[in-house]
Amino acid sequence: MQDYDIETLAVRSGIHRSQFNEHSEALYLTSSFVFENAAQAADRFCNNAPGNIYSRFTNPTVTAFQERLAALEGAQACVATASGMSAILATAMATLKGGDHIVCSSGVFGATVQLFSTVLSKFGIETAYADGTQPSTWRAAMKPNTRLLFLETPSNPLTEVFDISALAQIARDGGALLAVDNCFCTPALQRPFELGADLVIHSATKYLDGQGRVLGGAVLGASGPVMDAVFSFLRTAGPSLSPFNAWVLLKGIETLRIRMEAQSRGALELGQWLESHPRVERVYYPGLASHPQHALAMRQQRSGGAIVSFVVKGGREAAWRVVDSTRMISITANLGDTKTTITHPATTTHGRISAEARARAGITEGLLRVAVGLESVRDLQNDLARGLG
Ligand SMILES: *Cc1c(COP(=O)(O)O)cnc(C)c1O
């Protein structure tokens, strides 16, 4: 289906109808598959014949999800995982060994930092955090044993935008791979492979589901030894996506483009309104001309995305007042839902790091993050205006 546009691929790719000719994608809830005879079983186990064996590593519903996401990202191969975190773990296990080094963007997802600093470090894999968006700081952080550059763009919660093409070049020069966590933009707004990324990682839990129902993840890349190693890790270690979750995600992807565009449009409108509000000190949103990397964001993304962060005048007390005065917006740390969510990063997602580390990361006491959903922007403004005073 390579000639089709992304909207079409989102609803038409990855379909393999059963003997019943169902129109909607079938859900195969089965842990194993039966063989015609002993010889067929032997052939499948030895990879001499294609076919499903056991749902830890082969299931038709999971395969359909993998094919659809691969079509959207423009990747040859996709391995689905139980969650975004297991996708990141699988990537590390497939590409690194003891003694290797990672260079990671600052401001990545908290559990990713934990995974690198407490789990991978036990096996002799060290991580350096590139301080800032300038490609030169990444080049300076590279060591002879750097094998992986890991990037989230835009970052959370300050929406810093990183130059994927420039970092792909730095990775190539250093003999390392560039992995992009494309959770915030999804292929609907940003396609990292076109900019030179080697691997794309997803927390499907967020916008791919888009309705806050299931956990899931994926690693994508070119067919070859790296993706074979990702699959081999999944097959052996087992952080597999359940067929049920794969089916929910498959259907979620069908509306991805229109959701991302609508939520992005809402975020831009809300960002503009916040920027003009006298009680707001600063707004972080890549779609606004005031964003430091606005030009870069507009080059590598179709739009600014659905996450808007802003600093309320008056520090923690004022920020908490905004949170506590909402009647509709959900007070939760999750994002990527059709329901708008609000978070105070300094006391939740970034609450357990030291005050100095928080200050260095730019997470001030007045900062709030809003993940814009599909409600009307007027209702969102009214809900926030109450606490802004
Ligand atoms: C949520 C998230 C993850 C982790 O995904 P889970 O599905 O919760 O394991 C990784 N990266 C980013 C950017 C996220 O927002």
Report the nearest atom of ligand 1 relative to the CA of 87.
Answer: 9
**pLDDT the model gives residue 107:** 80
**pLDDT the model gives residue 188:** 98
User: Does residue 2 surpass a pLDDT of 80?
Assistant: no
Q: Are residues 78 and 100 in the same domain?
A: yes
**pLDDT the model gives residue 40:** 95
Report the nearest atom of ligand 1 relative to the CA of 336.
Answer: 15
Please tell me whether the overall predicted TM-score, pTM, comes out greater than 0.85 for this model: yes
Q: pLDDT tier at 350 (50, 70, 90 boundaries)?
A: confident
Domain presence at residue 98: yes
Domain presence at residue 1: no
Residue closest by Cα to atom 6 of ligand 1:
84
**pLDDT the model gives residue 132:** 84
Q: Are residues 260 and 340 in the same domain?
A: yes
User: Does residue 211 surpass a pLDDT of 90?
Assistant: yes
pLDDT per residue as tens digits for the range 133-151: 999 999 999 999 999 999 9
Q: Are residues 154 and 110 in the same domain?
A: yes
Query: Cβ(29)–Cβ(244) under 8 Å?
Result: yes
Q: Are residues 125 and 265 in the same domain?
A: no
Q: What's the CATH number where 265 sits?
A: 3.90.1150.10
Interacting residues of 121 by C-beta distance below 8 A, sequence separation 6+: 127
The CA 111 to ligand 1 mean position distance, Å, reads 8
**pLDDT the model gives residue 351:** 85
Q: Are residues 234 and 110 in the same domain?
A: yes
Q: Which of 129, 137, 141, 198 is nearest to 165 (CA)?
A: 198
Sheet with 177-181, edge to edge strand ranges: 77-81, 217-221, 199-203, 177-181, 146-152, 101-105, 126-130
Q: Are residues 47 and 75 in the same domain?
A: yes
**What is the domain extent for residue 121?**
6-253
Q: Which of 211, 231, 253 is the last residue of a domain?
A: 253
pLDDT per residue as tens digits for the range 234-247: 999 999 999 999 99
Q: Are residues 119 and 248 in the same domain?
A: yes
Q: What's the CATH number where 77 sits?
A: 3.40.640.10
Domain presence at residue 244: yes
Q: Are residues 12 and 153 in the same domain?
A: yes
Q: Are residues 222 and 87 in the same domain?
A: yes
User: Does residue 1 surpass a pLDDT of 80?
Assistant: no
- More confident: 197 or 352: 197
Q: Which of 253, 272, 304 is the last residue of a domain?
A: 253
Mean pLDDT score, 269-280: 98
The CA 166 to ligand 1 mean position distance, Å, reads 24
Q: How many domains does the chain have?
A: 2
Our separate counts of H helices and E strands in the chain read: 15, 12
Mean pLDDT score, 363-377: 97
Q: Which of 253, 279, 306 is the last residue of a domain?
A: 253
**pLDDT the model gives residue 354:** 80
User: Does residue 260 surpass a pLDDT of 80?
Assistant: yes
Q: Are residues 147 and 268 in the same domain?
A: no
The CA 18 to ligand 1 mean position distance, Å, reads 33
Report the nearest atom of ligand 1 relative to the CA of 217.
Answer: 7
User: Does residue 319 surpass a pLDDT of 90?
Assistant: yes
* Residue that has been written with the tokens 């999800």 in this structure: 65
